Amino acid sequence: MTNQSKDCSRRDFMKTSVTVAALSALPLGLSNKTYAAGSGRVRVGMIGCGGRGTEAATNCLQADDGVEIVAMADAFQDRIDRSLATIKQWCEKNSTPLAQRMRATPETTFLGFDGYKKLLALKDVDVVLIATPVCFHPVHLAAAIQAGKHAFVEKPAGVDPPGMRKVIEAGELAKQKGLAIVAGTQRRHQAKYLQNAHAVGQGAIGKIKGGRVWWCGGGSSNPPRRASGQGDAEYLIRNWYRFSMMSGDHIVEQHVHNLDVANWFLGRPPVQALGFGGRARRQGGNQYDFFSVDLDYGDDVIVHSMCRQVKGCYTQVSEQFLGTEGSVWGDGKLAGKQVAVPEFEEKGGPYVQEHRDLIKSIRAGKPLNEARNLAESTLVAIMGRISAYTGQVVRWSDLTKNEKSPWYNLTLKPTPLDFEQGTVVAPLENVIPLPGEA
């Protein structure tokens, strides 16, 4: 970005900030009709202002009239500028005064890989939205809970086993502190999934004996591109989705949704995984094109996991489970016994409902805590990835208990600390793990 564009965007930010500052002295709270009755303000800080972070912010704004964005943190100014513009457009489209919903100022906006620390130090932030590249999630979530903030954290939970254990620890600390953690696994907030999960729990299809979970999509064949003068850290951040150490590979970053449904409907994680995968068309980065994994849930229950990112192929994103007395699709048809199923709330779609549930739980003094669910579902995906990369059977205990396992302390690099310290070195591209050698 040129200096001229930086200056222009900074001036635009200042114009918005002046308006916000002028209105910030107006009385707020329960008497203001723009806020939900009896609810008050919910002051939100954004950690990660890219596309998903901005969508999460508008979802949160839509979820509750009391939500205000009061702080922003991102590695790059242009992402903050685009996020501000998008939120402004959202406010205009929804006839909502920008100054009542966007209260971030230059003083509460932070750049750099350590900007999240400055945001978390602000006492006037109640909830943080964490939507940074996946590898940062464990560090950012742990820091948020340490700082006493409620959190929404995007899926997946991270990229490696130590990170998942860190997320579980953050969840336990959140329970002690009375803090909420809601994850971006929005199917758990989607009415049809909730209805089917309830029915399965009531024995509608008997005992689950197996299933299949799919995320087969087109993906992208365009390789990542390095802009002129772009260092390794910025290159990886702007192309994070193409590198396994940044995203966890697409079995983790994307397929985690379906794997989460499997854990949810069965009520437990698998005991081991054996899978394979490969790369046929992708250029640049270091990810696979496809994965096929058998997940052994014990008690002779096998769920087959399949995900693919190859254009021109059959696409389907779904889950199906077979029971002793019927079958069910995750959000679709259920064939089995009739059981009573309650109504579940879903307003604005699941991406909005997850924020509604987060805020309602905070106000009710009964904070939701989805940290363990998110970490375990992510760990299933990591287990499948490791098995495919190495060609070995990987057991749940290898990642959670067995400290002698070669994968227990497997840490993907560069780490978040490398980004903060400026020691990032990009990996070689088009070099992928070879089963039997990795």
- Amino acid at position 115, single letter: G
Give pLDDT, residue 107. Answer: 98
Helices (H), 147-255: 161-177, 191-201, 232-238, 244-247, 250-253
Residues of the chain with pLDDT > 70: what percent?
91
- Strands 326-329 and 316-323, how do they pair? antiparallel
193-205 average pLDDT score: 98
Which tokens is 207 given? 């005992």
pLDDT value for 438: 79
Higher-confidence residue: 326 or 14? 326
- At residue 33, the pLDDT reads 29
Is the per-residue pLDDT at 9 higher than 70?
no
Confidence (pLDDT) at 21:
39
Name beta bridge partners: 153. 130, 183
For residues 73 and 115, the answer to whether their CB atoms sit within 8 Å is yes
How much is the pLDDT for 416?
98
Rg of the chain over CA atoms, in angstroms? Answer: 22
Q: How many CB atoms lie within 10 A of CB 176?
A: 8
Q: How many CB atoms lie within 10 A of CB 332?
A: 12
CB distance 125 to 71 below 8 Å = yes
So what's the pLDDT on residue 39?
53
pLDDT at 27 over 70: no
**Identity of residue 361:** S
- The CA distance from 217 to 201, in Å, is 30
Asked whether the predicted pLDDT for residue 337 surpasses 50, the reply is yes
- What superfamily in CATH does domain 188-345+371-421 come from? Dihydrodipicolinate Reductase; domain 2 (3.30.360.10)
Round to whole Å and give the CA distance between 187 and 156. Answer: 13
pLDDT digits (tens, 9 = 90+) for 350-403: 999 999 999 999 999 999 999 999 999 999 999 999 999 999 999 999 999 999
CA-nearest of 67, 62, 61, 84 to 28 is 67
- Rounded CA-CA distance 97/101 in Å is 7
pLDDT in tens, 131-171: 999 999 999 999 999 999 999 999 999 999 999 999 999 99
Domain topology for 3-186: Rossmann fold (3.40.50)
CB 246 within 8 Å of CB 236: yes
Domain boundaries, the chain: 3-186, 188-345+371-421
Mean pLDDT in residue range 411-420: 98
